Amino acid sequence: MSLVSEWAVGGMAAATAAAALLACVWRSGAFSALRVEEATFGPYALLYLRAKGPVWSTAPRALHELEHMVVDDARMEHEADKALMDTIGLYYDDPSVMPANQCRCLVGYCVNTHGRTDIPGQVSDLRKLSVVKSGELRAEQLPGSRCLAVQLPFWGRLSVVVAVLRAYPLLLKEAEARLGADAAARLRAQGVLEVYRPRERRMWVALPLATRDVLLAAEAAEEQLAS
């Protein structure tokens, strides 16, 4: 093969790789027009795991642990295939002001067990699971919450990066404009909610307008006892 031909082949390969990369970035929402809307998330029967540490490493690791615990429980394996709805992350602390090793979050599955429509009944079903009885996972009700939210495409980790770089600042700026800086800061301290729907290839970054003691009463009660 001549030198010119080698250059041509190399150029085509580079162009193909660049096009593939651009396509990934494009579908992740990096260039999508984003807007803040009001939306309601929940109510959910939530099966979740708590974690603490640097957000970028801790949340994915916690989600991986959660997936394994769910699959390892034979009673959940069937439900996971048929009835898992959304995956959520609730991030309590702002990593720009909180030391990385103190940042708290929870990751969870929003589960519809055996087709039940009553949330307390679903939570009761979940509490019978071995992984909940052992204390490895928790099951609680996450009430419906009105939120300020930004919707993005969801194509994995890159979409999460886009959410942090684009959706978070937009959401917090809108909250300040609507509610004032002090009220927006108080809401941010209550936690930011991320909702993922992989089957629909969509995700949301949301700022709940309800306080955390309403969102997860059991978690708030434990924090009060610990303080």
pLDDT band of residue 26 (cuts 50, 70, 90) is: very low
The reported pLDDT for the residue numbered 214 is: 58
Q: Is the pLDDT of residue 223 over 70?
A: no
Q: Give residues with Cβ within 8 angstroms of 185, minimum separation 6.
A: none
* Mean pLDDT of the 141-149 span: 88
First to last CA, the chain: 73
pTM for this one? Answer: 0.76
- Mean pLDDT of all residues in the chain? 77
* Mean pLDDT of the 169-198 span: 87
116 or 79: which carries more pLDDT confidence?
Answer: 116
Q: Is the pLDDT of residue 74 over 90?
A: no
Q: Is the pLDDT of residue 71 over 80?
A: no
Q: Is the pLDDT of residue 222 over 80?
A: no
Angle (nearest 5°) at CA 48 between 215 and 129: 120
Q: Is the pLDDT of residue 23 over 50?
A: no
Nearest Cα neighbor of 67 from 114, 109, 112 is: 109
19 or 178: which carries more pLDDT confidence?
Answer: 178
